[in-house]
Amino acid sequence: MRVADFFCGAGGFSEGFRQAGFEIVFAVDKWIPAVNTYKGNKPGVNVVLDDVIRISQLPDKEFETLVPDSEVIIGSPPCQSFSHSNKSGSADKSIGIQLIEAYLRIVARKKFKKNSVLKYWVLENVPAVKEYIKEEYKAAELGLKGDFILRPHDGASGKYNAKYFGAPTNRERYLCGEFPKPIATKSDNDVATLQMVLDSLGDPLNAENDIITDVNYPELTLKRQQMTDHGYIYELADFEWKTAKRLKQDKGYMGKMSFPENTEKPARTVMATMSTSSREAMILKYGENMYRLPTVREAACMMSFPIDYWFYGSTKATKHTLVGNAVPPKMSYAIAKAIADTENEPIPEHYPMIVHDKTIDFVNLDGTTFEIKKEQRRRDVAKFKYHIPYLIINAYRVELTNYHSDFENKKFRWDVEVHYSQGRNKAKVYTPKIEMNHIPQQYRNTIESFLRATQNRMPGMNGFQIVYCMTSQEQAEQQFIGPYELLDDVRNLIDTLLTPEEQKQYISITGEPKRLPIATVIGYYVLSKLINRMGGLQ
């Protein structure tokens, strides 16, 4: 059976169909590295560099000349605007909707034309896309003539997770169209894990030419030096992994994430951008207090690409984008197999090795040296908003912020606030007037000693901003502390005064919210006093 692939990317969607014995007859993408990667791994396929929206609107004769008939159409329109990780789900959806409708227009033109051969079509995207795809599209809604109706959500449409089809990644996606239900091959008890990927590929710096067995395709073996994009290390600087750790394990009300990655589970969703200092960063342990990013090959194996698949990007970033934007081949294979079974078509008994197009230039990252990133100063108007670390009690946290500064004139103001919960309906911000007499007597002397010692290390409102913008090395070479260090010191004070259980006990205060956990009261009081005294140093 023939397959046409739209928004083909690096070819992950069609790779599963290739392995299942389908004939890939057409593919299109508008990104050159994607087109080169597709051509490089699937010689003989008609791959074009073009815009799917433009193709969908071509006159009939030009459209039919360019796009061959096929029994299957697959497509994965770019999903960034629909992802909840993009601007917390509030990104502009208009371009994404245009791309989806272009794909549906192509499907409709092939499906409802005279003597159509199209039997199956599949659209893959992030789960949130479902609410932006209508239940049905009349011809006019797609800019076409006729009285047909296309119903994208019928049949086996639904959410599917790649880990249940053998991919070592927890990657949930929405599939819709006309296709038989793919059959899961794994359960939660036997899913492939990140550790299996790491064990199968081994140490990236292993210089031996031993045999590598593909964790996803056990009959596929290569000598280590035949495998690409694994023989290098991208080590993280201290400031990178420390920032990522804080964001992963102490990010307000968002749940804690493993640091480093939990290798006993399937990998988290592989991202198109392999970030370093973010909550989404995928970080692996590398020696004592050393951490690294996954290699391109490790990421590709997480996505279930075979180890003989090459990614034709000239940089590490481009290769990671090719991998992270793809459809896991194990998931697409399950779809292809379901179609083949329905059609009583045979499936190849063995993995079909890839024959690469040697006319396309290929850059192998093996042996590349990546310098550890040097920490840069923050912009002098950098904003700050963070709470006393790892101290959120019954949804209360004490935040230090410079958000109320006059950034345009570089007149900085630091404030302390008590925040409660999150969301439009629940979130509240308090700035109560807490005095020492609100705090139990037995803690007052220690608190006063802390205040006296710490205020000598506070540089004034503008100076505090200057210290915040310094690199870690610069901060260590001068006498003043910055906001992160101050919050750490306050947290240590609270731990010195109170046991974890004592920290949760409520005491009364004057004004809203009238009662707060004692650790929250002490943290707010101490920070408020120091910030007020710092203001007097201007």
Q: What is the pLDDT along the chain (538 residues), one digit of tens a residue?
A: 999 999 999 999 999 999 999 999 999 999 999 999 999 999 999 999 999 999 999 999 999 999 999 999 999 999 665 544 444 444 567 898 999 999 999 999 999 999 999 999 999 999 999 999 999 999 999 999 999 999 999 989 999 999 999 999 999 999 999 999 999 999 999 999 999 999 999 999 999 999 999 999 999 999 999 999 999 999 999 999 999 999 999 976 677 899 999 999 999 999 999 999 999 999 999 988 899 999 999 999 999 999 999 999 999 999 999 999 999 999 999 999 999 999 999 999 999 999 999 999 999 999 999 999 999 999 999 999 999 999 999 999 999 999 999 999 999 999 999 999 988 788 999 999 999 999 999 999 999 999 999 999 999 999 999 999 999 999 999 999 999 999 999 999 999 999 999 999 999 999 899 999 999 999 999 999 999 998 864 4
In-domain check, residue 369? no
Q: Which amino acid is at 355?
A: V
Candidates 79, 176, 301, 469; catalytic one? 79
* Same domain as 60, residue 166: yes
Alpha helices (runs of H) in 438-503, residue ranges in sequence order: 444-455, 461-469, 472-476, 483-497, 500-503
Residues with Cβ within 8 Å of 304's Cβ and at least 6 positions away in sequence, in order, are 162, 166, 167, 168, 169, 216, 328, 329, 330, 331
Task: For residue 380, give the nearest of 400, 401, 417, 409 by alpha carbon.
Answer: 409
Both 41 and 177 in one domain: the answer is yes
Domain finish residue from 273, 302, 331:
302
The residue whose two tokens read 């505090």 is: 464
| DSSP letter assigned to residue 416 | E
Residue at 239: amino acid letter: F
Q: Is there a single domain that holds both residue 211 and residue 103?
A: no
Question: Does 35 fall in a domain?
Answer: yes
Most distant CA pair in the chain, distance = 89
31 and 152 belong to one structural domain: yes
Domain that holds residue 275: 194-302
Cis peptide before 266 (omega within 30 of 0): no
pLDDT value of position 68: 98
SS3 content of the chain, % helix, strand, coil (to 5): 35, 15, 50
Q: What is the DSSP letter of 224?
A: G
Return d(Cα 495, Cα 478) in angstroms, integer: 27
Domain-located, residue 510: yes
Quote the pLDDT of residue 252: 65
Question: Which strands sit side by side in the sheet containing 428-430, from one edge to the other?
Answer: 385-387, 396-401, 415-420, 428-430
Is residue 357 domain-resident? Answer: no
Q: Same domain for 286 and 426?
A: no
CATH code (residue 163): 3.40.50.150
Mark whether 261 and 397 lie in a shared domain. no
Is residue 79 part of the annotated active site? The answer reads yes
352 three-class SS: coil
Structure tokens, 533: 């005294």
| Residue 394 is assigned to a structural domain of this protein | yes
Total domain count for the chain?
3
Same domain, yes or no: 43 and 125: yes
Q: What pLDDT score does 397 carry?
A: 95
> Can you tell me the distance from the alpha carbon of 84 to that of 537, in angstroms, rounded to the nearest whole number?
44
What's the pTM? 0.90
Give domain status of residue 348, yes or no: no
Flag whether 373 is in a domain: no
Place of tokens 């920490």: 375
359, part of any domain: no
Both 280 and 415 in one domain: the answer is no
206 and 336 inside one domain: no
Cα–Cα distance, 388 to 255 (Å, whole number): 17
Q: Provide the pairing of β-strand 506-508 with 2-6.
A: unpaired
Helix (H, G, I), strand (E, B) or coil at 400: strand
Q: Do 94 and 28 fall into the same domain?
A: yes
**pLDDT value at position 89?**
47
Whether residues 198 and 183 share a domain: the answer is no
Together in a domain, 460 and 515: yes
User: Whole-angstrom Cα distance, residue 23 to residue 328?
Assistant: 19
Distance from C-alpha of 424 to C-alpha of 90, rounded to nearest angstrom: 14
Give residue 79's pLDDT. 65
Q: Are 250 and 286 in contact (CB under 8 A)?
A: no
pLDDT of residue 422: 84
DSSP character at residue 393? B
